[in-house]
Structure 1
Amino acid sequence: MCGIAGIFSSVVGDQDLRAIRRATTAMTGRGPDGEGIWHSRSVVLGHRRLAILDPAHGQQPWIDPETGVVAVYNGELYNYPQLRRELERHGQALRTQCDTEAVVKSYSVWGHECMKHWAGMFALALYDPRNESLWLVRDRLGIKPLFYTVGSGRFAFASSVAALMEMPGLERRIDPAALAHYLATVRVNLGEQTLLRGVRLLEPGGSLFLARPGETPLPHKWWTPPVLPEEEKPAVEFDEAAVEIGHRVRQVAHEHQLSDAPVGGFLSGGLDSSILAATALAANGRPGRPVYSTGYRREDYGEWPYQRQAARHFDLELTEVPLEEADFLYDCETLIAANGLPLSTPNEVPIYRLSQAFGQRYKVALTGEGADEVFGGYAGPTFCAFDFDRSAGSQGGIDPRALLRHYGRSHFSCRRAHFRQCNSWIDAAARRQLLGGDQAALEAEAGVEAYYDGLFAETSACSTLEAYLHAHLRVNLEGLLLRLDSSTMAASVEGRVPFCDHRLVERLFEMPAHYKLALRPGLDPAAVRRLNSFELTGADSVETKRLLRHAFAAELPEEIVRRPKRSFPVPFIEWFQGPLRPVWEACLSDSDFLGNMLPVTTRQKLFEAEHTNAILAWPLINLALWADHWKISV
């Protein structure tokens, strides 16, 4: 895993070289094992290396001796052994065991179609001196980030916004639509838009080709997951599907262990990390792999009993990393400085602390990100599709009072509006309070709605549940993967996500949506009619990750198989009203950035109530810390 950066211009000068040196320095955490810079008349490329495969021979930028093609690459190809054999059959001579060399040789064989032969995570920039072109490509699910900006005749890119901040002429102004989306979802991007005007995020499964310096970049989507109406999906029985998925999970978990550095994992005690423990980390006749767990010292916030149970069951070497409230703000500031963007959820801090402890001894950690999005792990936020369908009368109806209790309405105009209401960190009324009701705020919100309209147009022929699963894959998963990348790479740890293997994802989206989550059998139809989906979830009437639970039921302790989903627990609401309150108050009241957004009285009101205002304050605190550190203006 690494950090990459570059500038593409008609003529690069000393200013550009200095900017790339600053950018690579800003990414030292992403690659403490080496640094390299290469430049020609029109391009300068920089690289930071975290050595995982063939540590002796993987220095970058990589120059192909036959073609002169130069690449900077951040990622891992888990099908590298098979890819190497395929390249050799095409007459390519590979001199190292580095997948970077295989990436460049792939380009020699297949050109701009080469990434379709790769299985893994990657962000790549490739300069071809034969026609002086630059090509960028990002992996299918967006596991590795790639940001870019255009201005003053320069095209610049980097693995982090913090590195892009070092580029000449970058405008540090907020993007209104991305801000509206951040307040709604605590996601730092809206498709390609980021919180900074002019800084774009190449979309998952996206590529970008510049035939010459100064050309306007036009991103191209080279991969999307299968979008199939239920009646067009291949027929497969549930039990047969569970067996197949179990086999596929074991296969990708095995492939994700490809490494010349020791591999360990993060263990939450939940279903996903326990499955990785069973399939990739368990002893099975050899010493158990290292796993790290985290939690707060109070048992009601920690997951210690489940983590210890899983570690004992699979004979793993468990290290517990207790977290303290006193470190929380410092860690927030550290991550914002390292990555150049606000945090998403409070869980980002525990992941960073866990990575710090893990990184003192190891480099490669398997994690469970993606399982909720691809297997249907969000009961309320996804199964709320059941409410939309019932409100339209297509599924036997629902007592209107059940809908009124949760939504304040009994009918919904469209899937987009319903999905956004069910998946908002801050509701629409509170967002209007923060953004105001002027024309600019209305246009920002319209930009967000246009993005979601586009998402749901792509799945208009699908069932509502299938459409919501796709929306979570596009919006939520990318946010979680950005969070994982920023938290782990700040501690020089490579986080690997077997559940995001594209071959597994493609197969899952060919299977019936109700194989992922559905009502438990045997429920009283009259009782179901009286409850909305969130009440059904609270009553444990919705089975999530059905395929995953059935595939591994025989290998895991029953308590873990049946456990409901829990994230890394952070007692943020308690802290907000308790020991950290003076710190938060000072952060909100002293922020120059928030001073231009909100009057002091509005900020003071955040401390008058408990739960709702703490939730409201979290993104504002992050915006304040981020904007004041990086000198961002409204």
Structure 2
Amino acid sequence: MCGITGIMAPEIGGVDQSTLRKMTATIAHRGPDGDGFYFGQKVGLGHRRLSIIDIEGGQQPMACESRQVILTYNGEVYNFQSLRRELEAEGYQFSTHSDTEVLLKSYLAWGKDCVNRLRGMFAFAIWDNRSQELFMARDRLGIKPFYYTELSDGTFLFGSELKALLAHDAVRRKLRIDALEDYLMLGYVPDPKSLVEGVHTLPPAYTLVRNANTGNMQSSCYWAPDIIPSANSVVDEGELVERLEEAVKLRMIADVPLGAFLSGGVDSSAVVGLMSRNNDDAVETCAIGSDDDDFDESGYAQSIADHFGTHHRLRLASANDGFLLDRMAQVYDEPFADLSALPTYRVCGLAREKVKVALSGDGGDELFAGYRRHRFHMLEENLRGHIPLGLRRLIFKPLGTLYPKMDRAPQFLRAKSTFEALARTSAEAYCHSVSKTPDRDRYRLHTDRMKKKLAGYHPHDLFTKIADEVKGADELSTIQYIDLKTYLPGDILTKVDRASMAHSLEVRVPILDHKFVEYAMRINPASRIVEGEGKHVFKKALEGFVPNETLYRSKQGFMVPAVNWLRDELLPELRDLEKSETLADTGLIDMNGVKEMIEEHVTEVRDHHTTLWSLLTLDRSLRHLGLSV
């Protein structure tokens, strides 16, 4: 695991070495074990290394024997040993034992098609002096990040994190308005946008080629999961576990200490159990609990640790962690409103005390429909399928407007969101269900200037576009596909990558092995949610291996009690937010709306904790980034 940077200059000798070194230094946390540089006539490549495989070899940037092809790479190719054998059979020779050299020679052997042979997580750039092209790629699920931009003079920049690009003095720090609206609704900025105008992310499963002579760029998608169910609707539960076990075993290859995160939920328990079954020694596991009993899952994690005989460590999160808000702005660069970012940051720090690599259980909810919103959406779909959209809008839109928002009422009386969802298309409704700040509240934050600049833009446009990619697929698979394209890379994987890399910790996600994803997404959707229970087929497959009390308890989630923190320990932060010059100076955020929401939350009239947390992180990120409008 590492950090990468690069500059392609429009003219020979145009690469500023000091600037590239400065860019690379900003991401030293991603690779504290050393740095390396390549400086050519038009291209410079930078690298920070976190040594995991072949600690003595594998230094980067790595060049082939002719020095005509040079690689800078962040990630792990888990099938590098089998690829090496294949390449050796074709006559290629190796001087290291690293996956880096395997990736480099895969490109020499198979060209740009090499990405189709890689099984792992990666973001890399290969400078091919023969064709004068820079070839860049990101892994299929978006586990590893890749930012890029082109300056007004034709200079091209890339890096693992936004901060690396912003280290270049010529990058214009201008706020992208539609990305801000995406953030306010979703709590993250989705690919391929960033909050900075002109800076983009390479989407998952995409390659990008830029020619040094012409400046032309071409991007293409090289993979998408097939979500049409297999003809065989009967799931072989033994095969499911075997496939996951293979993915886990591949990710246990390391030349450094290795452990796992253990929340006590289904997914992390399955991963830890399979690690334990394939490890002679006790697996190192760790968890973050809460000092609020309503949010504490540490007892479940300890139970699984005892069951599989792991060496388990625990720390507690508390309102005192609120001081990390400023640190989060530095870690994530862009605003990031996932409430579990704080405990994730803490658990990564705890893990790094003992290990350099940790496996996580991320991805199970996306693959097997484990979120509550999946179940609710399917219930709504039953009604949407029987009433035409025009009639639904006529009936439910007024009801959604008139029905009061009753946060403290029993669940069956909280119908406002359901009415609002039923007045929308399926994709629009799903966007509404995942929103941190739904339309009714977000519009209270818009100034006239914001409305004018948005010019009718709505974040659900992205969800509609993605749903159209799989038009004709069943409703459940469609929203899971949307998750794979938006929430998974934009929220879950971003959260883990930045939090782990801030501690120089590599995190591997076996459930998101692309071969396992392809298998899981073709399982009959009727077996994912059964009688209102999500992840049914996954849980059934794990029976007898993971205790039933873990498999069938209610899902709690890796969260913090922010609703209470913001009425108590973090109330001073809200009072400062009321007076935020950073937000006010944008001219985009209605500060009267902010003040009204704070008062409603503090007096318990409404629960606005997700919106207020989003605004707190936005305030700090804008200060950190120094963006203009």
TM-score by length of 2: 0.91
The whole-number CA distance in structure 2 between the counterparts of 1:37 and 1:66 is 17
**Residue of structure 2 equivalent to 1:347:** 340
Check 1:608–1:416 CA distance in 2 against 1; reply closer, same or farther (3 A cut). same
The alpha carbon displacement at 1:348 in A equals: 0.7
The whole-number CA distance in structure 1 between the counterparts of 2:304 and 2:450 is 54
**Residue of structure 2 equivalent to 1:412:** 423
The alpha carbon displacement at 1:176 in A equals: 1.4
Q: Given the alignment of the two structures, is residue 497 of structure 1 paired with residue 509 of structure 2, yes or no?
A: yes
Deviation per residue, 1:75-108 (Å, 9 max, x gap): 1011111111111111111121100000000001
5 Å-filtered alignment, 1:131-142, equals 131-142=131-142
SS class of match (2:293): coil
Partner of residue 582 from structure 2, selected from 592, 602, 606:
592
**Residue of structure 2 equivalent to 1:264:** 259
The whole-number CA distance in structure 1 between the counterparts of 2:558 and 2:424 is 35
The whole-number CA distance in structure 2 between the counterparts of 1:31 and 1:324 is 30
**Residue of structure 1 equivalent to 2:405:** none
**Residue of structure 1 equivalent to 2:549:** 559
Instruction: Say if 1:209 and 1:219, in contact at 8 Å, map to a contact too.
Output: yes
Moved more, 245-254 or 413-422: 413-422
The alpha carbon displacement at 1:444 in A equals: 5.8
The whole-number CA distance in structure 1 between the counterparts of 2:253 and 2:24 is 26
Check 1:46–1:409 CA distance in 2 against 1; reply closer, same or farther (3 A cut). closer
The alpha carbon displacement at 1:583 in A equals: 2.3
Check 1:119–1:441 CA distance in 2 against 1; reply closer, same or farther (3 A cut). farther
**Residue of structure 1 equivalent to 2:407:** none
Number of residues of Structure 1 aligned to a counterpart in Structure 2: 602
Partner of residue 311 from structure 1, selected from 288, 305, 311:
305
Moved more, 191-200 or 312-321: 191-200
**Residue of structure 1 equivalent to 2:593:** 602
**Residue of structure 1 equivalent to 2:568:** 578
Which amino acid is the alignment partner of residue 622 of structure 2? A
Instruction: Say if 2:15 and 2:41, in contact at 8 Å, map to a contact too.
Output: no
5 Å-filtered alignment, 1:111-510, equals 111-151=111-151, 152-189=153-190, 191-213=191-213, 215-228=215-228, 230=229, 233-238=230-235, 240=236, 242-281=237-276, 286-329=280-323, 331-381=324-374, 383-393=376-386, 406-408=417-419, 411-436=422-447, 440-441=451-452, 443=454, 446=457, 448-479=459-490, 480-510=492-522
**Residue of structure 2 equivalent to 1:614:** 609
Deviation per residue, 1:574-625 (Å, 9 max, x gap): 1111011112321452332344333443332232122532222111111110
Instruction: Say if 2:141 and 2:514, in contact at 8 Å, map to a contact too.
Output: yes
Check 1:145–1:198 CA distance in 2 against 1; reply closer, same or farther (3 A cut). same
TM-score by length of 1: 0.90
SS class of match (1:384): helix
The alpha carbon displacement at 1:236 in A equals: 3.2
Moved more, 168-177 or 480-489: 168-177
The whole-number CA distance in structure 2 between the counterparts of 1:303 and 1:107 is 46
Instruction: Say if 1:42 and 1:213, in contact at 8 Å, map to a contact too.
Output: no
Check 1:132–1:15 CA distance in 2 against 1; reply closer, same or farther (3 A cut). closer
SS class of match (1:425): coil
**Residue of structure 2 equivalent to 1:6:** 6
Instruction: Say if 1:383 and 1:517, in contact at 8 Å, map to a contact too.
Output: no
Deviation per residue, 1:256-290 (Å, 9 max, x gap): 10111111001101111100111013586x32111
Moved more, 84-93 or 443-452: 443-452
**Residue of structure 2 equivalent to 1:537:** none
Where in structure 1 are there 5+ consecutive unaligned residues?
Answer: 521-541
**Residue of structure 2 equivalent to 1:535:** none
The whole-number CA distance in structure 1 between the counterparts of 2:562 and 2:421 is 33
Which amino acid is the alignment partner of residue 126 of structure 1? I
The whole-number CA distance in structure 1 between the counterparts of 2:209 and 2:421 is 48
Instruction: Say if 2:4 and 2:74, in contact at 8 Å, map to a contact too.
Output: yes
The alpha carbon displacement at 1:67 in A equals: 5.3
SS class of match (1:274): helix
The whole-number CA distance in structure 2 between the counterparts of 1:601 and 1:37 is 50
The whole-number CA distance in structure 2 between the counterparts of 1:19 and 1:513 is 51
Check 1:38–1:385 CA distance in 2 against 1; reply closer, same or farther (3 A cut). same
Instruction: Say if 1:308 and 1:318, in contact at 8 Å, map to a contact too.
Output: yes
The alpha carbon displacement at 1:253 in A equals: 0.7
Instruction: Say if 1:125 and 1:136, in contact at 8 Å, map to a contact too.
Output: yes
The whole-number CA distance in structure 2 between the counterparts of 1:350 and 1:603 is 26
The alpha carbon displacement at 1:12 in A equals: 6.3
User: Runs of 4+ in structure 1 displaced over 6 angstroms?
Assistant: 398-403
**Residue of structure 1 equivalent to 2:94:** 94
**Residue of structure 2 equivalent to 1:527:** none
Deviation per residue, 1:408-437 (Å, 9 max, x gap): 358434222221222211111211121245
The whole-number CA distance in structure 2 between the counterparts of 1:12 and 1:269 is 56
The alpha carbon displacement at 1:124 in A equals: 0.6
The whole-number CA distance in structure 2 between the counterparts of 1:98 and 1:200 is 30
Identity of aligned residues (%): 28
Moved more, 83-92 or 399-408: 399-408
The alpha carbon displacement at 1:218 in A equals: 2.8
SS class of match (1:319): strand
Moved more, 336-345 or 624-633: 336-345
Moved more, 438-447 or 111-120: 438-447
Check 1:581–1:247 CA distance in 2 against 1; reply closer, same or farther (3 A cut). same
Q: Given the alignment of the two structures, is residue 631 of structure 1 paired with residue 621 of structure 2, yes or no?
A: no
Moved more, 381-390 or 552-561: 381-390
RMSD between aligned residues: 2.3
5 Å-filtered alignment, 1:65-84, equals 65-66=65-66, 68-84=68-84
**Residue of structure 2 equivalent to 1:46:** 46
Check 1:414–1:12 CA distance in 2 against 1; reply closer, same or farther (3 A cut). same
The alpha carbon displacement at 1:547 in A equals: 1.9
